[in-house]
């Protein structure tokens, strides 16, 4: 599913088309997303200006004039493309953001696990956002934060850093990659990781996410950027999806286990 780098890549791709433009309307073709889309939202936001396009975790936040905002989650397979107004509608094109420039931001979601919500003037207080942890690329996230929150916890460290209440946006791909860089076994109990190792892990999480954003995200199955091109970070993955292959650092065969019902690949020699 799209993770933080993919959502941030989408935000950056949409930014020059969206900000400062008037939202002439929303065309909602299918209200049956993860949560039913309020049928009245289109009328309430039509004619408002898009003053900013932000990201919180994996949510895109369209800030609108008149103290309004919209939250868009891409779900497991969703993406947003920039298309011309007269572009034919394809299967799974559920929502159009129609702009006064003649451009349409078209949300396509084959599995319909995405969502669209009206959030008002304070989107961070929306129930879907208010309990989220710090942004991993912000100053609020560091090794000290991870160390403090992990004390006495037996949960696997990989599951801890994938908990959105601890830190947002560190999904399966990037958690596996950061733990490999830090030399930490993914199943190690979170409370048994030292403060020094958490400092390194936080640094590696920031690095992995930053590199993925610069590379345009990671395309594994469904994700594509707003320009329709794939991301290229998957070409540099060290462990994710490489079970049985040689570790780039030591040459040992990478192993796979399941944590929290997710496949987790690691190096049995490099990660302890």
Token pair recorded at residue 124: 């961070």
- What is the rounded average pLDDT for all residues in the chain? 91
Catalytic residue among 22, 34, 112, 262: 262
Nearest-angstrom CA–CA distance, 62 and 99: 13
Nearest-angstrom CA–CA distance, 81 and 68: 23
- Give residue 77's pLDDT: 85
Question: Which residues are documented as binding site?
Answer: 92, 111, 153
CA angle 11/13/14 to nearest 5° reads 65
pLDDT tens for 254-271 read 999 999 888 999 999 999
The answer to whether 23 and 55 are in contact (CB under 8 A) is no
3-state secondary structure of 261: coil
Does residue 22 have a pLDDT over 70?
A: yes
Catalytic residue among 3, 6, 8, 177: 3
All structural domains of the chain, each given as residue ranges with its CATH number in brackets, are 4-125 (3.20.190.10), 143-266 (1.10.8.50)
Question: Which residues are documented as binding site for DNA?
Answer: 92, 111, 153
Catalytic residue among 58, 63, 106, 197: 58
Please indicate whether residue 36 is annotated as part of the active site: no
Mean pLDDT confidence for 154-172: 96
Q: H or E segment at 14?
A: helix 4-18
User: What DSSP letter does each residue of 152-201 carry, written as one string?
Assistant: T--SBHHHHHT-TTTSSS--HHHHHHHHHHHT--TTSBGGGS-HHHHHHH
The answer to whether 208 and 265 are in contact (CB under 8 A) is no
Does residue 222 have a pLDDT over 70?
A: no
The answer to whether 158 and 176 are in contact (CB under 8 A) is yes
Residues 6+ apart with CB under 8 A from 268: 252, 255
The answer to whether 75 and 112 are in contact (CB under 8 A) is yes
Q: Which residue has the higher pLDDT, 229 or 190?
A: 190
Q: At what angle do helices 195-214 and 4-18 cross, to 10 degrees?
A: 40
- Give residue 221's pLDDT: 40
Please indicate whether residue 3 is annotated as part of the active site: yes
Does residue 228 have a pLDDT over 70?
A: no
Q: What is the pTM of this model?
A: 0.88
Does residue 226 have a pLDDT over 90?
A: no
Residues 6+ apart with CB under 8 A from 24: 46, 47, 98, 99, 100
Lowest mean pLDDT among 80-84, 144-148, 268-272: 80-84
Does residue 232 have a pLDDT over 50?
A: no
Does residue 236 have a pLDDT over 90?
A: no
- Give residue 223's pLDDT: 40
- Please count the helices (runs of H) and the strands (runs of E) in the chain: 6, 10
Please indicate whether residue 158 is annotated as part of the active site: no
Does residue 220 have a pLDDT over 60?
A: no
Q: State percent of the chain over pLDDT 70.
A: 93
């Amino acid at each position: 599913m799209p993770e933080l780098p993919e959502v941030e890549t989408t935000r950056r791709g949409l930014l020059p088309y969206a900000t400062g433009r008037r939202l002439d309307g929303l065309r909602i073709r299918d209200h049956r997303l993860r949560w039913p889309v309020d049928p009245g939202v289109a009328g309430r936001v039509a004619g408002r200006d898009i003053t900013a396009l932000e990201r919180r975790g994996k949510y895109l936040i369209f800030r609108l004039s008149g103290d309004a905002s919209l939250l868009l989650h891409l779900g497991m397979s969703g993406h947003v493309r920039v298309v011309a107004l007269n572009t034919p509608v394809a299967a799974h094109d559920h929502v159009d953001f129609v702009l006064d420039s003649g451009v349409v931001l078209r949300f396509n979601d084959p599995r319909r696990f995405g969502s669209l919500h009206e959030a008002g003037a304070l989107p961070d207080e929306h129930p879907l956002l208010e309990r989220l942890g710090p942004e991993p690329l912000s100053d609020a996230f560091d090794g000290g934060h991870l160390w403090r929150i992990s004390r006495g916890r037996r949960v696997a460290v990989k599951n801890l850093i994938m908990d959105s209440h601890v830190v947002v946006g560190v999904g399966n791909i990037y958690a596996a990659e950061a733990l490999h860089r830090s030399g930490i076994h993914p199943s190690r109990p979170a409370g048994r990781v030292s403060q020094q190792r958490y400092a390194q892990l936080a640094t590696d999480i920031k690095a992995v996410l930053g590199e993925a954003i610069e590379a345009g995200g990671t395309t594994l199955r469904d994700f594509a950027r707003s320009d329709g091109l794939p991301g290229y970070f998957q070409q540099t993955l060290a462990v994710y999806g490489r079970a049985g292959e040689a570790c780039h650092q030591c040459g040992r065969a990478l192993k796979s286990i399941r944590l929290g019902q997710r496949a987790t690949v690691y190096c049995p020699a490099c990660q302890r």
